[in-house]
Amino acid sequence: MPDAANQANMKLLLKNIRLPVTGFDVMVDVELPQQVTAIFGPSGAGKTSLLDLIAGLRRPQSAFIQLQDDVLVDTNRRISVPSQLRHIGYVPQDLALFPHLSVRQNLLYGHKQESETNPVFSFDHVTEVLAIQTLTQRRVTDLSGGEKQRVALARALLSCPRLLLLDEPLANLDAGLKAKIIPYLARIKEEFHLPMLYITHDRMEVVALCDEVLEMSRGRIIRQSSIPDWNAPPAI
């Protein structure tokens, strides 16, 4: 059961990661102590592959992944916690909403019983924070892009996660919609105290929401900085 008070800082260890993708290996060895870490880098750098691995959707050649005190993956000891037991909320790039279901049915998919005994992640609180209470009877196909983004975020929160993985959650939205949704994300950060890994190409989102930045290039982390300094040359 997530304990909001203890989640402001995360301890996520990604050690000895080797994940073959087309053309190169994603190789990562890093400790992430901040609440919201942006993952920044050019298209094809391996950002989504890294999130897929943490979520349990991809198998690594080698990896040690620890979230707080729980080892999720340790290939040396043949440990690999199944994805549904990792308590990780994932909002993928395409949102993966079910078009044939209503908003409510989408939200209840993967909704964990614990979320109703934990007021922070209750259905009412999550839909209030994301301002989607009035949308629950609508079909997903009838929503705007920004509404779909908020439903996808709500669905991830209702799974009572200990870590939220967001893959370009505001991509494909115009500047006006981004400006509306960024405060929702800021509110999630403030109210749920959830650790997040946040892939984005947008420096404005990094500055608005994130505490730390990882920059990736061809599967490697080329810079980890707590205060974005976009003018400094890469450390490596």
Ligand X SMILES: Nc1ncnc2c1ncn2[C@@H]1O[C@H](COP(=O)(O)OP(=O)(O)OP(=O)(O)O)[C@@H](O)[C@H]1O
- Closer to ligand X by CB, 112 or 201: give it: 201
Yes or no: say if 168 and 197 are a contact pair by the CB < 8 Å rule: no
**Residue 209 C-beta: closest distance to ligand X, Å:** 18
Sequential DSSP letters for 42-100: -TTSSHHHHHHHHHTSS--SEEEEEETTEEEEEGGGTEE--GGGS-EEEE-TT----TT
Amino acid of residue 38: A
- Binding residues (CB under 6 A) for ligand X: these are 21-23, 41, 43-49
Tokens of 59: 């198998």
Minimum Å gap between C-beta 190 and ligand X is: 27
CA distance 77 to 41: 32
**Whose structure tokens read 């005190």?**
69
Question: Please, what is the minimum distance in Å from the beta carbon of residue 33 to ligand X?
Answer: 23
Q: What is the DSSP string of 178-212?
A: HHHHHHHHHHHHHHH---EEEE-S-HHHHHHH-SE
- Looking at the Cβ atoms of 49 and 159, the one nearer to ligand X is 49
Cβ proximity to ligand X: between 49 and 127 the closer is: 49
Between 34 and 48, CB nearer to ligand X: 48
CB of 166 to ligand X, least distance (A): 12
Shorter beta-carbon distance to ligand X: residue 39 or 103: 39
Place of tokens 């080797």: 18
CB of 54 to ligand X, least distance (A): 12
